[in-house]
Amino acid sequence: SQTIHQWPATLVQPVGSPLSLECTVEGTSNPNLYWYRQAAGRGLQLLFYSVGIGQISSEVPQNLSASRPQDRQFILSSKKLLLSDSGFYLCAWTGSYNEQFFGPGTRLTVL
């Protein structure tokens, strides 16, 4: 069966520091992968999606970037974090009917 992992689970970073969040999927090949963010009290915001290795589409211009170095690995990065980057980050992949399966999430607090 398919499994999706995210790490770290929680992260506290100072403003201006770099960021790297990792997502890996097991049990499937060539999945479509997605990064979402939930800010406090707000819905899901799609940040990036990828249909294959090296193929990244950005939904929202900001100081975040994404990369897909391997088929089942999706990385979210930033060179300099802002206070507004705080939130709950979710990785997801797409199943047969476009349903999305989500990872456990990373809680990021920028101080």
Partner 1 sequence: AQSVTQLGSHVSVSEGALVLLRCNYSSSVPPYLFWYVQYPNQGLQLLLKYTTGATLVKGINGFEAEFKKSETSFHLTKPSAHMSDAAEYFCAVRSMNRDDKIIFGKGTRLHILP
Q: Given the rule CB under 8 A, which residues bind partner 1?
A: 6, 32, 34, 42-44, 46, 49, 51, 57, 88, 90, 92, 94, 97-105, 107
How near is the Cβ of 60 to partner 1 at its closest, in Å? Answer: 13
* Minimum CB distance to partner 1 smaller for 3 or for 79: 3
How near is the Cβ of 27 to partner 1 at its closest, in Å? Answer: 16
* Minimum CB distance to partner 1 smaller for 11 or for 44: 44
Strands of the chain, DSSP E: 3-7, 10-13, 19-26, 33-38, 44-52, 55-58, 64-70, 73-78, 87-94, 100-102, 106-110
Which residues have CB under 8 Å from 97's CB, separation 6+?
none
Residue 37's φ and ψ, nearest 5 degrees, are: -130, 140
* Minimum CB distance to partner 1 smaller for 12 or for 15: 12
